[in-house]
Structure 1
Amino acid sequence: MKAIVITSPGGPEVLQLQEVDDPQIHDDEVLIKVQATALNRADTIQREGSHPPPEGASQYPGLECSGTIEAVGRNVTRWKIGDQVCALLSGGGYAEKVAVPAGQVLPVPPSIPLKDAASFPEVACTVWSTVFMTSRLSAGETFLIHGGSSGIGTFAIQIAKYYGANVFVTAGNEEKLAVCKDLGADVCINYKTEDFVARVKEETGGKGVDVILDNIGGAYFQRNIDSLNVDGRLFIIGFMGGAVTQVNLAGLLARRLTVQAASLKNRSTENKALIVSEVEKNVWPAIVAGKVTPVVCKYLPLSEAAEGHRLMEIGKHIGKILLLS
């Protein structure tokens, strides 16, 4: 098969389409003929030489895909050859075929084109496991998403609104904020021209928001703390603004704040299967009902993975960038 190989740590140009061996499936895995995979920030970090795949996982990038099952392991009972599915991966999505544990596979919702289904697994599992399973966002609460126009952000807006939250977003220009508004965001903040802490306080009568999903890290840490309500929860999923900072801890104590962080990529197979099961139970009905829809910025052939990485790193895209095999 063909796959995108990281020939050495570096810029997008190190991504090369090469002939490689087909993956071999284990007894509890399925083999998916990939129609599409989606780009994620973790892919660019892996390309640069950090955040490697978990031990035993494919060395090719790609954390989600959609396609058709081509083979099943002898212990697999739910899935059969020919099923159209999407899947959460530990790696290997930038390829024509990928082996994946059966517990990380999801059915393609009936109304969603097969290629667009690749835009869901990583964002759905990330948002559901952090914002809902851990931070327990509930109806009537306020929720702030940094990077509202990203793949994570466009999904998080929709699922949070579906579950009755009041959604705040930050983004860097009016075009991105307009998309967030169209997806259901209640308060849209241009972080380049506004102080998001002041705006959050203004919109909440001085209280702050209940939950924040943050991929900036160090640069926003103190401001996130200052933006939280009593019993507020901050969940960090990235460090685009650095991993080191200083913080005044008094606010955590005074307002009983909770700070948590996690990545999805290196979780155990068992934990990923649990998250995927919860996503199918709680998120898939919203997609089937048309309340959560894919937001795709661009489709590129697999051979143009490097161009996809360049687009992602420029930061002008809205939603997901998909590679088609």
Structure 2
Amino acid sequence: MTTMRAIVLSGAGPADNLQVRAWQKPDPQPDWVRIQVRAFGLNRSELHLRLGYAENAHFPIVPGIEATGVLDLDPDGVLAPGQQVAAMMGGMGRAFDGGYAEYVVVPRSQVIPFRSDLPWDVLGAVPETLQTAYGSLTTGLDLRAGQTLLIRGGTSALGYATAALARDLGATVLATTRRPERLAELAAHGVDHPVLDDGDVAARVRELVPAGVDAALELVGTTTLPDTLAATRVHGTVCFAGMLADEWIVKDFYPIAYLPTGVRLTSYSGDAANLPAAVLQSVLDRLADGSLSLGPVTTYPLDLIPEAHRDIEANRVSGKVVGVIPATS
């Protein structure tokens, strides 16, 4: 049996349940491909898996809903070995082993080819975050140039990326943080109006935009959703796309009392098919020439992924967290 190094989650529980192990190197079936992983983004989804919130989870499993690297094997010969690729979703890290490993096999339909000379830690930060940010702004909010956008959870990876894309579109961006020391971080990354989340963001927002914002992206969860709805204008739209607070159920939901009159509530959840290859390539090219930034990135080697989970759970990091596997692996 040929083995590889992988992070294996033995069961729901503390970060110590994530362990580096020798794991069987996977072989792709028809219509699947094998990727040699160079970097993988860490996402709230994997934290939910570890904490026991994921439905239909089975253990042991290699977590990770995304991976970035080079095509190692396509048994059907559709993709050439050495091609740079990103893969995401489609059951990664839930239905089958995911991206926290030296190699991963995925359905070819979940693979997006690209070309870039950027370092792997930068590349690994992009795919899933970009997919969700792009989909939230287009499908979830239909944001237009000249509109105002509120982002709840602005110092998350998705918050920074969405702010960058919205500003690039020509929108005015407001973004929240609960930590006063992070207001300057938001401003440094192009947010027009950093807003301290003191529990009444709607009041702070309406001091800046009296009629309410045109659009809002809810990334914190159902705990802050009523406040976000109250910050949005009549005929404005709130898109629910994240659960940083790990609260996603609205208890005793009575729509007429819960939803402000005329405010629209949507959601967004997508996968690789929702991120056009041309969009990924364009963003990578602009990251390379310095005309776009998706926010700060913190990297961890494979051996320190349990520590990365602790830092994410304790909200000690701002922006995207990426696991990096050296090219010599």
**TM-score where L is the length of structure 2:** 0.86
Q: Tell me, yes or no, if the aligned pair for 2:88 and 2:272 is still in contact at 8 Å.
A: no
Q: In 1, Cα distance between the equivalents of 2:181 and 2:280? A: 27
Are residues 1:25 and 2:25 paired? no
1:60 equivalenced with 2:62 (yes/no): yes
Q: Distance in 2 between matches of 1:298 and 1:123?
A: 14
**Pairing 1:123-162 to 2, within 5 Å after superposition:** 123-162=129-168
The residue number in structure 1 matching 2:122 is 116
Report the Cα distance in structure 2 between the residues aligned to 1:293 and 1:111, rounded to whole angstroms. 16
Q: Is 2:200 the partner of 1:195?
A: yes
Describe the SS at the equivalent of 1:295: coil
Q: Alignment partner of 1:210: what SS?
A: strand
Is the aligned partner of 1:99 residue 2:105?
yes
Looking at structure 2, the residues matched to 28 and 248 of structure 1 have their Cα atoms a distance apart, in angstroms, of 44
Question: Do the aligned residues in 1 keep the contact of 2:148 with 2:173 (CA within 8 Å)?
Answer: yes
Aligned positions, number: 310
AA paired with 1:249? I
Give the one of 259, 266, 282 matched to 1:260. Answer: 266
Q: Aligned with 1:217: secondary structure?
A: coil
Which residue is 2:281 aligned to? 284
Distance 2:6 2:109 in 1: 24
Question: CA shift at 1:216, angstroms?
Answer: 2.3
Q: Give the direction of change, closer, same or farther, for the CA distance of 1:28–1:276 in structure 2 (3 Å limit).
A: farther
**Whole-Å separation in 2 of the counterparts to 1:202 and 1:253:** 18
1:12-71 deviations in Å (ceiling 9; x for gaps) = 11101112222221322221111111111111110112225789xx93211122111111
Aligned-partner residue type, residue 316 of structure 1: R
Describe the shift of the 1:54–1:275 C-alpha distance in structure 2 as closer, same or farther (beyond 3 A). farther
State the partner residue of 1:221: 225
**Where do 5+ consecutive residues of structure 2 fail to align?**
none
| C-alpha distance 219-24 of structure 1, shift in aligned 2 (>3 A) | same
Residue in structure 1 matching 2:215, options 198, 211, 215: 211
**Distance change >3 Å, CA 217–CA 127, structure 1 → 2:** same
Contact 1:9 1:49 in 2 (8 A): yes
Contact 2:40 2:324 in 1 (8 A): yes
RMSD between aligned residues: 2.5
Identity of aligned residues (%): 28
What residue number does 2:49 align with? 46
Give the letter aligned to residue 203 of structure 1.
Answer: L
Q: Structure 1: which 5+ residue stretches go unaligned?
A: 265-271
Aligned mates of 1:157, 1:122 — CA distance in 2: 16
Amino acid at match of 1:168: L
2:5: which partner in 1? Answer: 2
1:15/1:100 Cα in 2 relative to 1: closer, same or farther (>3 Å)? same
